[in-house]
Structure 1
């Protein structure tokens, strides 16, 4: 794999940061490439060297975070749920501005859907490995219930300025998952 020029990486990071900051201030639909370039302190042409348009930029930004979450490894799979979820809550905390902008923005409703799909896939893998405590409940119902609850907790935590540290959140959610579902 060829090494990427540090200047290219620095430009891309500045562009992504500018978009996230702007999304925390206004709707994605109201953001222009000119505003992104002004915020990133570069000309519009530089943005177009890296991205087709603001939608491509947003899609690549979301994709990068989803890939990072996916690389964080397995879910609980015989681990304590609280310990298994801790890296995820730490990641959400570390990337607070991104998740805050994505979950609060009217311009990126697809992000919540993508996050939910990611979470459900993780729970599906867990159910395939460990099973469920509820043989009488349809698997799809369990997955939708747990996925929606988990995303809802993440959303609440982010929107309320992370009132509890990641360790507390991971333990709380882990206790709920471990005692009720898996």
Structure 2
């Protein structure tokens, strides 16, 4: 495996940070490559070296976070909902600017739909409609209901300035999932 040049990593991180900060200030449509370059303190050419355009940059940022969340789910597969949710909420807290910008702004509906798809995918193995309280219900309705509730809870948390700790959010959302999903 080849070693990535630290300068490349540093430039890419500066570019990602710049676009996230700019999205917190204005609509994504109003952001130019020059705005991003100026904020990141890099040349426009550096951005084009790594990304086709600003949409490619945003897509890659979204996929990076979705993949990180997916990996967290895999590492948390033996945990309770509360424990697993804490891993997620801690990640959200550590990447506050990105997630708050993506979920609160109207400029990134694609992120919300990708996030919702990920939650549905991760909850699917937990749904059993063959017996118990979910017997006779449609699996897709159950999954959409709880995934929408989870995404909505994360949005609410950011909109309210993370008024509860990551631990409290994990405990409460985990308790609701334990009570209703399994």
- Aligned position for 1:176: 176
Q: Give a deviation string over 1:111-168, Cα, whole Å, max 9, x none.
A: 100000000000002226x986311211111001000001000111012111101110
Distance 1:17 1:120 in 2: 28
1:76 CA displacement: 7.1
- Aligned position for 1:85: 85
Contact 1:28-1:106 at 8 Å conserved across structures: no
Alignment of 1:13-162 (within 5 A): 13-74=13-74, 79-127=79-127, 133-162=133-162
| Structure 1 segments (4+ residues) deviating >6 Å | none
What are the ranges of 5 or more consecutive residues in structure 1 without an aligned counterpart?
none
- What TM-score, normalized by structure 2, do the two folds share? 0.94
Contact 1:77-1:126 at 8 Å conserved across structures: no
Distance 1:173 1:75 in 2: 19
Contact 2:73-2:122 at 8 Å conserved across structures: no
In the alignment, structure 1 residue 165 sits paired with structure 2 residue 169: no
What are the ranges of 5 or more consecutive residues in structure 2 without an aligned counterpart?
none
Distance 1:65 1:84 in 2: 16
1:2 CA displacement: 1.2
For residue 72 of structure 1, give the secondary structure of its aligned residue in structure 2: helix
Distance 1:41 1:23 in 2: 17
Distance 1:132 1:69 in 2: 29
Change (3 A) 1:172 1:75: farther
Contact 1:76-1:126 at 8 Å conserved across structures: no
- What TM-score, normalized by structure 1, do the two folds share? 0.94
Distance 2:108 2:19 in 1: 12
